[in-house]
Structure 1
């Protein structure tokens, strides 16, 4: 996951947190988080990058709507990232 941009990483987490989201659902979630408009020209190329890297799978809901799901590799990458973050953010007991 080290080679992803911050936006791609956020996008990956949103895909993981929603049930088979479509592009507009992802866009809405990210707009709420970033508190600004996310343009299609930013969203879809970054989704394509996640698909190309094997982290997200792109499927077809209908002729106009694609859905995105996290792959096993994507889940492993998220888990590894969380473990890495936790070593720096968890306070000792």
Structure 2
């Protein structure tokens, strides 16, 4: 997980927040938090890499769209990342 880019981690968190989102739903959700436009190439290349690493499962919605679902391995990696973050950002510090 520590070798993922920040964008890939954000993708993983976003995918985990939906049941089986398609790419454009993921993009719209992320776009609310990014100041610059997220290109389709950036989105799908990174989703593909996460799928290759076994962190998300790629499915088929229809002939034009795929769905993405976080895997158990992906969830474990998110939990590890959260534990690591909690070691460095004490509870109650955020937002003060």
TM-score relative to the length of structure 2? 0.91
Pairing 1:67–2:38 present: no
From the superposition, tell whether residues 91 and 26 of structure 1 become closer, same or farther in structure 2 (CA, over 3 Å): closer
Q: Deviations over 1:30-72 (max 9, x none)?
A: 1111033211111000000000000000001111110000000
What is the match of residue 33 of structure 1? 33
The structure with the largest helix share of the pair is 1
Where does structure 2 lack aligned partners over 5 or more consecutive residues? none
Structure 1 unaligned segments of length 5 or more: list them. Answer: none
- Measured in 2, the distance between the counterparts of 1:31 and 1:37 equals 7
Q: Which runs of 4+ in 1 moved over 4 A?
A: none
Q: Secondary structure at the match of 1:34?
A: coil
**Cα distance in 2 between the residues matched to 1:56 and 1:22:** 12
Tell me, what secondary structure is at the counterpart of 2:32?
A: helix
Structure-1 separation of matches of 2:72 and 2:51? 12
Equivalenced residues, count: 92
SS in 2 for 1:57: strand
Alignment of 1:34-49 (within 5 A): 34-49=34-49
